Amino acid sequence: MTETATRPAVDAEPREFDMLIGADWVGARSGERFASVNPFTGRVWATAPAAGAADVDAAVTLAGKALDGPWGAMPAAERGRRIRRLGELIAEQAEELAVLESLDNGKLLREMRGQLKALPGWYEYFGGMADKLEGVTPPDPKPNLLVYTRHEPVGVVGLILPWNSPLLILANKLAPGLAAGCMFVIKPAEQTPASVLAFAKLVARAGIPDGVVNVVTGDGRTGQLLTAHPGVAKVSFTGSTASGIKVMKSAADHVARVTLELGGKSPNIVFDDADLEAAANGVVAGIFAAAGQTCVAGSRLLVHRRVHDELVSRIAARARTIRLGDPFGETTEMGPIAFQEQLDKVASYVDIATAEGASVVTGGKRPDSPELARGFFFEPTILADVDNSMRIAQEEVFGPVLAVIPFDDEESAVTIANDIPFGLGAGIWTDNVRRAHRVAHRVKAGSVWVNEYRLTSYSVPFGGFKQSGIGRENGMDAVREYTETKSVWVNLSDDTRDPFVLG
């Protein structure tokens, strides 16, 4: 991996990306394209095709046909080898992919490098599972019958991705889905098409047949065409709860399966017996890493009243020293917000919160520094005097904005933590092991970290309670989410039976 990343000159012509349909790299049939803006420079740096109905239809049709070709006939062990090979190719191409993601979404290059380094693990883990998808032979349910089950690929899967970590979120879906033998039409977010398109070039090099992985680019309209296509058997979506609801309704029209990974408003719960230095560090990591643009952002700090002031002052002191700047800079700690509308949304929530009675401890505005003026920057922000019923405590901001809510005892901490429509993540900070498990069991969230925050792995199930989603990604069961179970009944008897009686 080289350490020297270069950003295209601000006045360079935008790079033109094409999309992948079957074996072909193509533009949209309409000829339409859309622009991707670099969030640090505020300039268009790339364009990609705006796929319409004919493009989506071609991709879904070719994906469907791939099952009748070498992909469907391939022994599972061979499929697994090629998935693992894809992981090796990602490792070889990691620097280029990390740079493309950072150019598209403005996240720190060093964070993207870290993600890319971890990514082959997904393809290695799930590639190893391709030949271990065993069915069962249930004990004879009736005389003279052989019954066995098979786990068959669900079919063509539409993958709809957000802009915050395109390749990591893609890996959560694609690696287990390939292991199951499915075919894919991927729709990256309109803000971040580049890294997924560059990644798709590796698929053929890994020996995965043409048509198994297709990429169509465009905005929510392209996503809607994909979810509505009758050839799509399943949709796996990561994004906002509002769009997830639309995806689910559209998929319901043709009974496509859905996996949804949606928004959150995750609490970091700090008890008065916690190591406050560790807790402060965890809270900072939870809300200011990636400028708060992660689904598991610890955006609510629930803190015992006894340690409230001390903890808030520690976090505020650290927040004030966070180095905002060029995502390519080795010492930058926080980059810009990914795009203008998202920046506007973040800023508007600070106004909403203060109008509701919250007070700004630090941040709350765009930075004054002239070097940061073109980029979509927002200061790390801490809001105190927040009540859990306020909008700032109930709605996902998806930015570097922390809402601090005091509590008086364990019971009220759990009540406040759960008084929310979401249930994605939660952090518990305490030195009392009994309390840690008690609270971990009572908090309604798909991932609970104790004296830690924001860890994920291919081997650990991930997903949400309540409006944070449906289904789980990662872990051994993730492959099953991409299969249909078929039961095969074989009559072993030479007799014929009464056709009018249920066998």
Q: Which residues bind ligand TXE (CB under 6 A)?
A: 160-164, 187, 189-190, 219-220, 223-224, 227, 238-240, 243, 246-247, 261-263, 295, 342, 345, 396, 398
The answer to whether the CB of 401 falls within 8 A of the CB of 383 is yes
How far, in Å, CA of 377 to CA of 368, rounded?
10
Q: How big is the CA angle at 188 (ends 183 and 192), to the nearest 5 degrees?
A: 150
Alpha-carbon distance values, 100 to 4, 199, 343 (Å) = 14, 10, 21
Min CB(299)–ligand TXE separation in Å:
10
The distance of Cα 299 from the centroid of its chain, to the nearest Å, equals 17
Closer of 243 and 362 to ligand TXE (Cβ)? 243
CB neighbourhood size of 170 (10 A): 25
The answer to whether the CB of 379 falls within 8 A of the CB of 336 is no
Q: Which two tokens stand for residue 488?
A: 């095969």
Closer of 109 and 161 to ligand TXE (Cβ)? 161
First and final C-alpha spacing in the chain: 63
Give me the residue whose beta carbon is nearest to ligand TXE: 223
For the chain, the farthest-separated pair of C-alpha atoms sits apart, in whole angstroms, at 88
Does the annotation mark 182 as catalytic? no
Min CB(243)–ligand TXE separation in Å:
3
Min CB(167)–ligand TXE separation in Å:
14
Closer of 181 and 464 to ligand TXE (Cβ)? 464
Q: What is the CA radius of gyration of the chain?
A: 24
Min CB(295)–ligand TXE separation in Å:
3
Closer of 220 and 329 to ligand TXE (Cβ)? 220
Closer of 406 and 427 to ligand TXE (Cβ)? 427
Burial (CB < 10 A; 0-12, 13-18, 19+), residue 323, is exposed
380-415 in b/e form (b: 16+ CB < 10 A) is: bbbbbbbebebebbebbbbbbbbbbbbbeebebbbe
Closer of 261 and 333 to ligand TXE (Cβ)? 261
How far, in Å, CA of 420 to CA of 415, rounded?
10
How far, in Å, CA of 31 to CA of 41, rounded?
27
Alpha-carbon distance values, 12 to 8, 98, 407 (Å) = 6, 20, 53
Closer of 233 and 316 to ligand TXE (Cβ)? 233
Min CB(228)–ligand TXE separation in Å:
8
The answer to whether the CB of 479 falls within 8 A of the CB of 125 is no
Min CB(263)–ligand TXE separation in Å:
5
Alpha-carbon distance values, 83 to 80, 180, 498 (Å) = 5, 11, 49
Q: Which of 124, 261, 379, 395 is catalytic?
A: 261
Q: Which of 295, 395, 473, 481 is catalytic?
A: 295
Does the annotation mark 295 as catalytic? yes
Catalytic (active-site) positions? 261, 295
